[in-house]
Structure 1
C-alpha cells in the first residue's frame, strides 16, 4: 500500500502555500485582476501588479496589505496598448524567474466611436489580445527559468462574452463594421484562442511552461466585497443585486479559476477552467474548451496575423527554451 496521501480537495478559501514563487498579474490594480492578486498574496508568493496607472497600483497595493498584512506585493508599469514599451517593462521586473503570469488586463468599451492606439490598432483588440501576445514573448525566458520542480504557467483570462462570438480573420480590428460589444467579445476570443494555441506549440517544442485558459463567468461589481478605494459598494447596490446572486457572482469569486490555474499542481496546459454552476458562478472546475476557441486552423492564422501586427513571435523562442 502506498504511503502517499491524496492531495486535499481544492478550497478557494484555504489556498496552498507558494513561498518563493513570483507571479505577475496584468491589470492587478482593479476588478478581477485585483482579487487574483489579493488571493495569490495570501500564499506567501511575491505578487507583481502590472498596471499602466501608478496611482491606482499604489492604492491596490495598500488595499492588499490591509487584507494580507505580510503580503509581498509590488508593481511594475505596464501599458499593453503600447507595444514598443513591453520589452522594457519586462526588463524592469528585476526577477531571475517567473512562476506564472495571469494575462488578465482588459479594456471594454460600450459605445462608439471606434478608438485606436498610437500604433493604429483598435483599442480593445490591441490591449486584450495583441498586448498579451507580445508580453508573453518577452516573458517566456523568465517563465522557462522557473525551477524544474514546478511548471510555470501562462494563465489567460477569457470571457463568457466570447462564447457566442466568432473571429473575422479578414477584419480582426473591426474596421469594416465596428460594434463595441462584439469587438470586445472577439478580442477575448482571440485571447483564448492564443492561450490554447500557445499550449499546443509549447508541447510540440518540448517546453516546460504550460498555458491554461480561464474565464470568470458572470462577475458583477454589485456582488463584490468592498475594497476602498479600489472598489466601493453601497448597501443599496448590494441589496439590489441580491436576486442576481442566484445566477452570477462577485469579482472576488470571478478570480477563483485564475487563482486555481496558477496554484493547483493538478492543472494541466490546454485546459479551460470556469465556474462550476452553468459556467456563470461557483467554484472553479475544468470544462471542455469551446470548439471555436480551439480550432487549430483559425488559431494558426490568428497567430500569424498577431505576429505581423506586433512585430514579435512568442513561438520564435519556444525551441530555444524547450
Structure 2
C-alpha cells in the first residue's frame, strides 16, 4: 500500500508569501509583537500595528522598513484599556476585510497597588482580556469579509499553573500582581477556545487559534534600534539561558505560524517545541484546564456584561449559483506536520 505523502515541516525562515493580505497585530510596536509584525511584513502583507503610542509605533515602522525592503506597515492608534478607543480604531481600518488579527498586546505589573482603567476595571484584566474581547466584537464584520480569516490569541506559559476565580475576576479582594497577570492571560486563552467552539457552531470560516511564546528574554533578543538595544555584555551573560529559553524573535514564531500556515485549524494550541519553552513552533495538546467548557462559558458571559460587547460570527452567505465558501476545514486533521 503506497504511503500517504506528508506536507513539509513548517520552516520559520521560509514563510509563504501573503501579498494582498491584511494583518493587525496589537502591541506590534515592541517585544514579541514587534517581531510578529516584522516577520509578517516579510511576506509582502500589509501589517497594521495597533498601538497607543504613536512615537513608538513610528519607531517600529522605521525599524521594520530598514530590515524589510518595501515593507507595508501602518500604525493604528489603539488603547485596549479604553472602550471608545477600540471602536474608533476599528472604524479607522475602513471597509476592507481583515485576514488575521494577532491579539498580542499586554500589560504586566510587578508591584502593588492595584490599578484601574477609566472604566473601573483592573488594568491587566482589562487590557489583556477585556480589551481583546471587545476588539474581536468590533472586528467581526472585517474578519467575516475575508474567508478563512484568523483570530490568533497570545497566551502565556504563566497561565499553565493558574486557575480563574470567577467570583473575583478582577482581583478586587486579593490582589497579587503576578497572579493577576497570569489569570488575565488564562482568561485570554479560555476566550480563544470558547471562541473556536462558537465559530464552529455558527459555521463560520473564521478560525480561532491559540498560541503561547514559551520563555523569552530581552537579553537573548537581537537588537532592533531604537525599538530594542541589546549590549554584547547582556548577550554573553545570558547565553547559558539560551539552552532553556529564547529571544523574542523566536518567541514570535508560534503566532506567525498560526497566521500563515494553511494546515493550522481552529481550536489548536501552538507553542515552542522544546518543553514548551524554546524552539520552533509545534501544535501541542490543549492544557487540561483549557478544556473546561463551564468555566469558559461563564467567563464569556462575564466578559460580555463587563464590556457590553458580544463577538458573534455567522456562517458565510450563499454565493450566486447556490455555492458557498469552504468552512476552512474546522475540526479536520492538520495537513502539515508539527
SS in 2 for 1:8: coil
Over residues 247-272 of structure 1, what are the superposed CA-to-partner deviations in whole Å (9 max), with x where a residue is unaligned?
00000000000000000000000000
Find the counterpart in structure 1 of residue 99 from structure 2. Answer: 99
- 1:9 deviates by 2.4
Match among 239, 259, 265 for residue 262 of structure 2: 265
* Correspondence 1:296 to 2:296: no
Distance 2:260 2:216 in 1: 21
- 1:69 deviates by 1.4
Structure 1 gap ranges (5+): none
**TM-score (norm: length of structure 1):** 0.96
Find the counterpart in structure 1 of residue 21 from structure 2. Answer: 21
Contact 1:161 1:185 (C-alpha < 8 Å) held by counterparts: yes
Match among 310, 314, 317 for residue 319 of structure 1: 314
Match among 295, 304, 307 for residue 310 of structure 1: 307
Distance 1:225 1:95 in 2: 37
Distance 2:143 2:195 in 1: 13
Find the counterpart in structure 2 of residue 170 from structure 1. Answer: 167
SS in 1 for 2:209: strand
Distance 2:114 2:157 in 1: 22
1:1-322 → structure 2 map (5 Å cutoff): 7-146=7-146, 148=147, 151-315=148-312, 318-319=313-314
**TM-score (norm: length of structure 2):** 0.91
The count of aligned residue pairs is 316
- 1:319 deviates by 3.2
SS in 2 for 1:163: helix
Over residues 66-88 of structure 1, what are the superposed CA-to-partner deviations in whole Å (9 max), with x where a residue is unaligned?
01011011110010000122111
Contact 1:211 1:269 (C-alpha < 8 Å) held by counterparts: yes
Distance 1:21 1:159 in 2: 27
Distance 1:236 1:245 in 2: 15
Contact 2:205 2:315 (C-alpha < 8 Å) held by counterparts: no
Q: For the aligned residues, what is the CA RMSD?
A: 1.5
- 1:6 deviates by 5.7
SS in 1 for 2:161: coil
